[in-house]
Amino acid sequence: MCRAVSYIGPPTALSSFLHSPDSALVRQSIDPRYLHMLNLAGFGMASWNSGDDEPNEPLLYRSTAVPIFDANLVSLASKLRTTCMLGHVRGVAYRADAGVGPHNQHPFHYTGTPLALCHNGDLSGFDSMKPALQEHIKPSIRAQVMGTTDSEWVYALLLSHLADPGAYPTETELLRALDATLRTLRTLRETHGIDRSSSLNLFVSDGRQQLALRFTFDFGRYSLDPTKMHEANSHFLSLWATMGSEFSPDASGRWAMRGGSSPRATILASEPLTRDTTGWIEVGEYTAVTVTHSGDELSLRTTEMDA
């Protein structure tokens, strides 16, 4: 299943998250440490830079190429710096009918809204509840749905639970919309008799704040038939966080989040970007992590999600 990373902090080369560390996101596409599946169905990112002429508009890059062989991405990542980003390597079931295409690449970002979203997981029985789900999505949002993934519909549902999808939400507004999204999905799952474990780890950003969720519906209730059970639903998918002054290598080339009296940088990721996990903290199950600016510093808060 997919791997994702979210960053907010001082301007930093994209390669610092995608290629350079010994367990960088693109490396995880073929060598994930906390998953037993390869992630070969493409790469996508949304990247903001507060120093750009249009700092509110993210650079969007999506490709169905196998990430480790994407030479264009290597060139871009070594030249571009970011103050906030979402990155995603996509994994899909190994089937000929898997929906691999540009319209299904994460992160999702609709015109007229600042939020972008990546999903790591799999909603069991999604196709059966999809018709009813449409009733909970605002028409202006539903008109922008282009792909076939459960992930994009979760994104559309989250936007629809915001009073104004075109405005920058406060931390409270975003958490409230997330809670409403989870409760809507819970109700639809119950209505359609879906009780199989379904992972819903989410990464959300608008260029100014971060949100990441570690969540699984009905954990432990899954089919023992391996042909009917996705690996993403057989255990809690991981979520990790690190916070400090900057993410950089030392003289020996060892990457780490450097300390400092004022937290200025945060990384939230499916798994640590470094083999040495010193300085990384695993986020607990059923937890949302939000990162917002507090003056010149960043503030991190965790919220229990019990939907």
- Mean pLDDT, the chain, rounded, equals 92
237 neighbors 219 (Cβ within 8 angstroms): no
Per the listing, tokens 């000929």 go with 96
User: pTM for this one?
Assistant: 0.94
Question: How much is the average pLDDT of 85-104?
Answer: 77
**What count of residues does the chain have?**
307
Output the pLDDT for position 133: 95
Closest CA to 202 of 64, 103, 124, 88: 88
Give the list of residues 6+ apart from residue 50 with CB closer than 8 angstroms, or none: 11, 83, 84, 207
The answer on pLDDT for 141 being more than 70 is yes
The answer on pLDDT for 106 being more than 70 is yes
Output the pLDDT for position 99: 60
pLDDT tens digit sequence for 35-64 = 888 887 899 999 999 988 899 999 999 999
Quote the CATH superfamily of domain 3-304. Answer: Aminohydrolase, N-terminal nucleophile (Ntn) domain (3.60.20.10)
> ∠ CA(81), CA(283), CA(165), 5° rounding?
60
Q: How confident is the model at residue 102 (pLDDT cuts 50, 70, 90)?
A: confident
Could you write out the DSSP letters of every residue in the chain?
--EEEEEEEEEEETHHHHTSSTT-HHHHTT--SS-SS---S-EEEEEE-TTSSSTTSPEEEEE-S-GGG-HHHHHHHHH-EEEEEEEEE----SSTT---SGGGPSSB--TT---EEEEEEE-TTHHHHHHHHGGGS-HHHHTT--S--HHHHHHHHHHHTSS-TTSPPPHHHHHHHHHHHHHHHHHHHHHTT--S-EEEEEEEE-SS-EEEEE-EETTT---S-TTT--GGGSSPPP-EEEEESEEEE-TTS-EEEE--SS--EEEEESS-SSSS-TT-EEPPTTEEEEEEEETTEEEEEEEE---
Output the pLDDT for position 219: 84
Q: How confident is the model at residue 119 (pLDDT cuts 50, 70, 90)?
A: very high
The answer on pLDDT for 230 being more than 80 is no
Output the pLDDT for position 90: 87
pLDDT tens digit sequence for 124-140 = 899 999 999 999 999 99
Both tokens assigned to 277: 């996990």
Question: How much is the average pLDDT of 184-193?
Answer: 96
What are the residue ranges spanned by the domains of the chain?
3-304
